[in-house]
Amino acid sequence: MSEVALTLAERRERQIAHQDARATHLASREALLSPRRSNEELRAIAEAAQQRLADTDTDTVLAWVGQEFGYRTAVACSMADAVLPAVVARHVPWVDTLFLETGYHFAETIGTRDAVEASMRLTIVDVKPRLSVAEQDAEFGERLYERDPTLCCAMRKVEPLHETLQGYEVWITGVRRDEGPTRADTPFISWDDKNGLVKINPLAAWTFDDLLAYAADHDIIVNPLVNDGYPSIGCATCTRRVAPGEDPRAGRWAGLDKTECGLHS
């Protein structure tokens, strides 16, 4: 039965059951966590898997992730869509899904985040910077994203994510090779020396059309901005619509000599 067809009481009952299931999982999560292995051990695991799984597919990689890392797994999700955490949750139900709460998001992105948390078998973790927007404005001046976007991204994305990732052994991202020249050689598996853990890009070989088709076929939430000219969605202050035929990431930091926030470089 579709969500639209449900009565208010039925929707409320489903929501309560969903919340109870999440709470039950979280209550037992500690028993499912193995001690975090050393960086040396994790690097060796990544390097061996790079060769063994280089030519495999998304499901095979994620099945290995579930077996090898369990709940020391984190998924990074920008909430442009929920395809990535959905495919991961098939192998690691209630997986921690990290959302970088920069304070500059589109309202549609926050709405997508809330809808995902309310309906999917995921555990949303809001990753917040040390300073609120108001505190950053007071210390560094307003509109830092225009004057020094690299510093702004470092404080609001890179540093808080790095700190959060220290409790995990692997992080999973939605980086795809078709997103632009800087991502064309993205591997399925690598060692992330900057953050000190294994990095998995299970959708690396997918195209944007593959992503949308999967979302449609499996009724997965997609940010409404995706269908409004935003194939890549970041902070509202630094993202514009993309014209037909443009690079999918052309709307990010448009007019600036900047193509990445620093999370993947």
Q: Which residue numbers belong to the known binding site for [4Fe-4S] cluster?
A: 152-153, 235, 238
Task: Supply φ then ψ for residue 122, to 5 degrees.
Answer: -135, 160
Considering only CA atoms, which of 158, 180, 181, 174 is closest in space to residue 242? 180
- C-alpha distances in Å from residue 57, one per residue of 4, 90, 97, 192: 35, 15, 22, 21
Distance CA 263, CA 165 (A): 12
Q: Which of 261, 262, 263, 264 is catalytic?
A: 261
Distance CA 19, CA 137 (A): 37
Task: Supply φ then ψ for residue 263, to 5 degrees.
Answer: -70, -30
| 77 is an active site residue | no
The answer to whether residues 194 and 97 touch, using CB atoms and an 8 Å cutoff, is no
Which positions make up the binding site? 152-153, 235, 238
Amino acid identity, position 79: M
Catalytic residues: 261
